[in-house]
Structure 1
Amino acid sequence: MKAVPAAQGVTVAEIRSMIEEVGDLVRLVSEADPDDKAELYVRLGLKLMYYPEKQYVEARNEPEPPHVRAVCVRGGT
């Protein structure tokens, strides 16, 4: 039986790089065209529900598996 390799840690530099990348993505999304944002949200499975009386937004993430949109059933079973 082979030993399972030990988990490798993440360096401080790698963490900084990830944070910088996320910051860039947040900026890009915040500045994006509304139609482009809508497409991005659909692809991510992000669903937003706004409740105007409470001025409250509920966000849910319900991503579909990548193969779901490619499957097509034809005819009866």
Structure 2
Amino acid sequence: MPPPEGDEVLTLPPASSAPATVRIEHAGSGTIIVHAYGDDSRDILASEIGAYRGEVPLPAGTSLVTITADGTWSLTGM
């Protein structure tokens, strides 16, 4: 199965109390923006131009993640 490409909305199962780290990879030449949404919060996990690889903490209570990207990407660890 090829990696996802372009924009996506991910719904997460109910969050556990354990902290999670998300690994984000982007192979596009343009922008990738990743937002995490909780009950009363919105956090930017990544806002980068070009190829990107990094790890960021997933905020507690995150139930929705949006990805805006011009190329292939992956999110692991959620």
TM-score bracket for the superposition, by shorter chain length: under 0.3
Task: Give the TM-score, by structure 2 length.
Answer: 0.23
Q: Which has the higher strand share?
A: 2
Task: Give the TM-score, by structure 1 length.
Answer: 0.23
Which of structures 1 and 2 has the larger relative contact order (alpha carbons within 8 angstroms, sep 6+)? 2
Q: Which has the higher helix share?
A: 1
